[in-house]
Structure 1
Amino acid sequence: MTKEKNQETHEQPEYEVEIPSREQLLEAVEARLKPTTFEEIIERFKLTDERQHIGVKRRLRAMERDGQLIYTKANAYGLPSRMNLIKGRIIGHRDGFGFCKPDEGGADLFISPNQMYTVMHGDRVLVQEQGKDSKGRREGRIVRVIEPREGNIVGRFFIDHDLGVVVPDDSRLNQDILVPEEARNGARHGQIVVVKVTHRPNRRTSPIGEVVEILGEHMAPGMEIEIAIREHDIPTEWSAKTEQEVARVAETVPEEAYADRIDLRALKLITIDGEDSRDFDDAVCAEREGDGWRLWVAIADVSYYVRPNTALDKDALERGNSVYFPNFVVPMLPEKLSNGLCSLNPDVDRLCMVAEMKVSAHGKLQHSKFYPAVMKSHARLTYTKVAAMLDGDPKLRQEYDHVLSNVEELHNLFKVLKRARQARHAIEFETLETRFIFNAERKIESIEPVRRNVAHTIIEECMIMANVATARLIEEHDEAGALFRVHEPPASERLTNFRSFLSELGLTLKGGDDPSPADYAEVLEQVRERPDAELIQTMLLRSMQQAVYSPDNAGHFGLALDEYAHFTSPIRRYPDLVLHRAIKSLLKKQQGPSKALEGAWMYPDEQLDELGEHCSMTERRADDATRQVDEWLKCEYMQDHIGEEFGGVIASVTNFGLFIRIDDLHIDGLIHVSSLDNDYYHFDNEKHLLIGENSRRVYRLGDKVRIRVRSVNLDERKIDLALLAAESPAGKDRMAGGWKKDEAAGDKAGQQPPRKKNKQQKKAHVKAKRAKVEAKRKAMKGKKKR
Structure 2
Amino acid sequence: MSQSRFPSKDEVLSFIRSSTTPVGKREIARAFKLSGSADREALKDLLRDLEADGVVERGRNKRMAPPQALPEVAVLLVTAVDADGELSARPLTWTGEGEPPRIFVLPEGNKGRKQDHKPHGDGRALGVGDTLLARLARLNDRLYQARVIRRIDGEREGRILGVYRPSADGGRIVPTDRRHKTEFLVLPPNRGGAEAGDLVFADLLPAGRAGQPQARVVERLGSTEEPRAFSLIAIHAHGLPTAFSHAALREAELAAVPALMQREDLRALPLVTIDGADARDFDDAVWAEADADPANAGGWHLVVAIADVSYYVRPGSALDQAAYERGNSVYFPDRVVPMLPEALSNGLCSLRPGEDRACLAFHLWIDRRGVLVRHRLVRGLMRSVARLTYEQVQDCRDGRTDEATAPLADPVIAPLYGAYACLAAARARRGTLELDLPERRVRIDERGRVAEIAARERHDSHRLIEEFMIAANVAAAEVLETRTMPGLYRVHDRPSMDKMEALRGFLAEIGHPLAKGTDLTPEHFTRILRKVEGTSQAPLVSEVILRAQAQAAYSPDNIGHFGLALHRYAHFTSPIRRYADLIVHRALIRTLGLGVGGLDDEALGRLPEIGEHLSDTERRAAAAERDAVDRYTAAFLADRVGERFSGRISGVSRFGLFVRLDESGADGLVPASSLPDDRYDHDEAAHALVGQRSGRVFRLSNPVRVILVEADPLSGSTLFRLAESAA
Normalised TM-score (structure 1) = 0.73
State the match for 1:46 in structure 2: none
Q: Is the 8 A contact 2:480 2:486 kept in 1?
A: yes
Are the counterparts in 2 of residues 80 and 86 from structure 1 also a CA contact under 8 Å? no
Change in 2 beyond 3 A, CA 1:80/1:179: farther
Query: In the alignment, which residue of structure 2 is the partner of 1:610?
Result: 609
**Which among 216, 220, 233 is matched to residue 214 of structure 1?**
220
More off after superposition, 401-410 vs 628-637: 401-410
Residues 651-730 of structure 1: matches in 2 within 5 Å? 651-725=650-724
Matching residue's letter, 1:308: P
Write the distance in 2 (CA, Å) between the matches of 1:602 and 1:134. 45
User: 1:565 — aligned with what?
Assistant: 570
Residue 773 of structure 1 corresponds to which residue in structure 2?
Answer: none
Look up the equivalent residue of 1:622 and give its one-letter code.
Answer: A
1:577 aligns with 2:570: no
2:189 is aligned with what amino acid?
E
The equivalent of 1:112 in structure 2 is 105
Match of 2:328 among 311, 321, 334: 321
The alpha-carbon deviation at position 500 of structure 1 amounts to 4.4
SS in structure 1 at match of 2:606: helix
CA distance in 2, matches of 1:461, 1:241: 38
Please list the CA deviations of residues 657-676 of structure 1 after superposition, one character each: whole Å capped at 9, or x if unmatched: 22222223222233222222
**What one-letter code is carried by the residue in structure 2 that aligns with 1:583?**
L
In 2, Cα distance between equivalents of 1:131 and 1:394 = 64
**SS of residue matched to 1:521:** helix
Counterpart of 1:168 in structure 2 is: 175
Q: What secondary structure does 1:694 align onto?
A: coil
Structure 2 residue 640 is matched with structure 1 residue 641: yes
Paired residue for 2:198? 191
Which of 221, 232, 239 is the matching residue for 1:233?
A: 239
Letter matched to residue 243 of structure 1 = L
The structural deviation recorded for 1:454 is 0.6
* Selected match of 1:270 from 269, 272, 275: 272
2:496 is matched with which residue?
A: 491
Q: Distance in 1 between matches of 2:269 and 2:140?
A: 69
**Deviation of 1:371 (Å):** 1.7
Q: Name the SS for the 1:97 alignment partner.
A: strand
CA contact (8 A) 1:119 1:145 kept: no
Aligned residues of 1:488 and 1:547 also touching (Cα < 8 A): yes
User: 1:540 Cα deviation (Å)?
Assistant: 1.7
Q: How much has 1:164 moved relative to structure 2?
A: 3.7
* 1:368-767 map, 5 Å: 368-395=375-402, 399-402=405-408, 404-478=410-484, 480-510=485-515, 512=517, 514-588=519-593, 596-725=595-724
Task: Quote the sequence identity (%).
Answer: 38
Tell me what 2:163 maps to: 156
Task: Write the distance in 2 (CA, Å) between the matches of 1:216 and 1:598.
Answer: 40
**Residues 571 and 581 in structure 2, CA contact (< 8 A), matched pair in contact too:** yes
Give the gaps of 5 or more residues in structure 1. Answer: 1-78, 589-593, 727-786
The separation in 2 between residues aligned to 1:130 and 1:657, in whole angstroms, is 23
Q: What do the CA deviations read for 1:354-393 (whole angstroms, capped 9, x no partner)?
A: 1111111111111112121111111111111111111122
Deviations 1:186-238 (A, max 9, x none): 112443212245x5789997775432332334342111111110010001101
Shift of 1:180: 4.0
Deviation at 1:401, TM superposition (A): 2.0
Deviations 1:418-463 (A, max 9, x none): 1111111010122222212333332223222211101100000000
Q: Structure 1 residues 574 and 399 mapped into 2: Cα distance closer, same or farther (>3 Å)? A: closer
SS in 1 for 2:565: coil
8 Å Cα contact 1:151-1:233 kept in structure 2? no
Partner of 2:88: 97
Query: In the alignment, residue 214 of structure 1 is paired with which amino acid?
Result: R
**C-alpha distance in structure 2 between counterparts of 1:638 and 1:507, whole Å:** 38
RMSD of the TM alignment (CA)?
3.4
- Between structure 1 and structure 2, the one with the greater Rg is 1
Question: Which sections of structure 2, spanning at least 5 residues, go unmatched?
Answer: 1-58, 64-70, 107-116, 120-124
Instruction: Please report the TM-score for the alignment, with normalisation by the length of structure 2.
Output: 0.79
Q: Distance in 1 between matches of 2:97 and 2:575?
A: 32
Of 295, 300, 303 in structure 2, the residue corresponding to residue 293 of structure 1 is 300
Task: Flag the structure with more relative contact order, 1 or 2, with Cα contacts below 8 A and sequence separation at least 6.
Answer: 2
Change (3 A) 1:105 1:544: closer
Letter matched to residue 614 of structure 2 = C
Seen in structure 2, the aligned counterparts of structure 1 residues 317 and 403 have a Cα distance that, compared at 3 Å, is farther
For the Cα contact (< 8 Å) 2:396–2:405, is it kept in 1? Answer: no
Q: Which amino acid aligns with 1:537?
A: S
